[in-house]
Structure 1
């Protein structure tokens, strides 16, 4: 951790400048932020995202239902349907078939679905997820997947926060160095013209 390097400037030294002490404070604050604030920020962000995703998981599990589909034959239409991530079934890459299934309220539904496997004969069955109206949808989100995404978001937030702290520390130190050079230039300009002159006290 490079911010710790500036802590040596806490030492008492007659040559220590005011900017040296300020640099030590900056290093201390940056070290505390990196050790405490950035992990806390990542944990809070990850927890909130995980909580939101877990809420979505619970809602989807309540609203989506698994049902059995019976294949009745090949699809009537032959045109290509646009992909809809929300209404697609979990059998992508299979064959398109005409099938019937029951909604939650018991009403019969008929439509074209993607069945698992390349060769599906009439009478074959497979399962899909449907919404309360009986429309095929993706299966509910997995709780472990939601938890993993929360952890990844928390880690990413921690990393971003640490980078921002380090960039801010470097910016402050850059300003301090500029101030030191400015003071040195003024002192040099004031004392320089008298160097080597007779009776100038040099």
Structure 2
């Protein structure tokens, strides 16, 4: 119908542009392009400044936590002899590398620090028979446990948390940049609709 304004079509996607094109004078550069460029720069600077600080703070806190944990474990755990109460299963491939790494859970008797004999469960090598003795870590009440954290494990876990903190800061910055870009993109489309509403009548109204 003559005089009807056709719907605005979104502008085509941006063509390949040289690096830092938003910083160069250009008659087609929009104010939102400059805004996005400055915001991107701000996010980059913030990430580069905050990520190392976050990594140090989180890593230091994690190291302190795991050092306290290791200290408590050393105070509440000890090694003792444990006697198997039954035979451990035999591995289907005797002598293989897999057999050397495999462990089976069995019930064992241990003597607690206060002299009581109790039964707990631990993992042992395949093929051990009842009556064999293995060396295990137990808690004060004789419950089988993992060995206390070593310095290497404390350092490794602290570094892991530090790395996660740095990655978290970087991901937060990337998400903020992406959301800002999306908001600016929507704003550009709204401005395109307004401009089209002003221009289209001159193209569609018969003279």
Q: Structure 2 length normalisation: TM-score? A: 0.65
Describe the SS at the equivalent of 1:140: coil
Alignment of 1:31-180 (within 5 A): 31-69=44-82, 71=83, 74=85, 92-93=103-104, 96-97=107-108, 99-101=109-111, 103-105=112-114, 107-111=115-119, 114=122, 116-117=124-125, 118-120=127-129, 122=131, 124-180=132-188
Cα 1:8–1:34, aligned 2, differ >3 Å: closer, same or farther? farther
User: Aligned residue for 1:23?
Assistant: 36
Deviation at 1:134, TM superposition (A): 3.8
Deviation at 1:22, TM superposition (A): 1.2
Describe the SS at the equivalent of 1:55: helix
Describe the SS at the equivalent of 1:119: coil
Cα 1:184–1:125, aligned 2, differ >3 Å: closer, same or farther? closer
User: Aligned residue for 2:199?
Assistant: 191
Describe the SS at the equivalent of 2:104: coil
Instruction: For residues 26-59 of structure 1, give each alpha carbon's deviation from its aligned partner in whole angstroms, at most 9, with x where no partner exists.
Output: 1111211332223432343333223212211111
Contact 1:6 1:23 in 2 (8 A): no
Deviation at 1:66, TM superposition (A): 1.8
Unmatched segments (≥5 aa) in structure 2: 1-17, 87-101
Deviation at 1:23, TM superposition (A): 1.3
Runs (4+) off by over 6 Å: 196-199
Deviation at 1:140, TM superposition (A): 1.6
Unmatched segments (≥5 aa) in structure 1: 76-90
Cα 1:19–1:93, aligned 2, differ >3 Å: closer, same or farther? same
Describe the SS at the equivalent of 1:19: helix
- RMSD of aligned residue pairs (Cα, Å): 3.4
Equivalent pairs, count: 174
